[in-house]
Structure 1
């Protein structure tokens, strides 16, 4: 059976430009609503976290990835599959400690800042893309991995690249239900 010509596809993708412009408008509104950069950063992180806890279901349903056996495998999946799937970029992964629980995702090009040349005046500590950190943290928590996720470098702060640091804290235990 064929689809009627006017029917929209079931999983339409919005254009990247529309998404980036909408995100910019969101950050601009938060800057108007909150005087202090830390409050804006916290709000973006919380929004990202809420997105991440919901996005993980979609990711697992559409990516066909197997269960990761290590932190390094997990970060590789985030970089090579999740970032590619949702932002159409593939960050470089580096491990930054011998314990194997601290990693960096390095983006040469950050799609969220395509139309942003600089941070607003007086907003030097604004972490414009903090939504990404929250989304990663929320998604990891949903697969029982507690992590601290922060920006280490940011193109909008004058750095050459965007670098997101991920430090795995500990594996959280799934609640086990007793049989009655």
Structure 2
């Protein structure tokens, strides 16, 4: 991707978009395998995200740092499987968001069930942090839209 795009921000956008598209497809598989019902609140949503990570990546992030309004939480990974065999070039260490694919995946999956969220990294093991922490914030419940016909 670095060869295909002119700058790192474009690569970051493509990684996020790739994850988003994956999430849109993974949610169907997840729902069919787990027979999950609709999420009642963000705590329920967080538990189902945790379950999906265990199911697809064989890791179980810790759900922590809830906002007082219960609309925002963190997923903390002791081991991020996407970073096991990756080393970022030193000149891109601060700007490339290699694991942005995870944020896109969460966003895409939740949008398919009418939840708009924002995701960002607080800590990243690829950047030298001891854990990987992703913050997930509820933005709004999206309305089901039907064609006018």
TM-score, normalized by length of structure 2?
0.93
Higher gyration radius (CA): 1
Structure 1: runs of 5+ lacking an equivalent: 1-29
Cα distance in 2 for residues equivalent to 1:64 and 1:126: 37
1:139 and 2:112 are equivalent in the alignment: no
Q: State the SS of the aligned residue for 2:2.
A: helix
Greater relative contact order: 1 or 2 (C-alpha under 8 angstroms, separation 6 or more)?
A: 2
Q: Which residue, out of 56, 71, 74, partners 2:42?
A: 71
How many equivalent pairs are there? 148
Detail structure 1 runs of 4+ shifted over 3 Å in the superposition. none
Query: 1:120 matched to which residue of 2?
Result: 89
Q: Which residue, out of 124, 140, 149, partners 1:170?
A: 140
RMSD: 1.5
Q: State the SS of the aligned residue for 1:141.
A: helix
Q: Which residue, out of 11, 19, 33, partners 2:4?
A: 33
Structure 2: runs of 5+ lacking an equivalent: none
Query: 1:130 matched to which residue of 2?
Result: 100
Cα distance in 2 for residues equivalent to 1:50 and 1:83: 16
Cα distance in 2 for residues equivalent to 1:165 and 1:40: 21
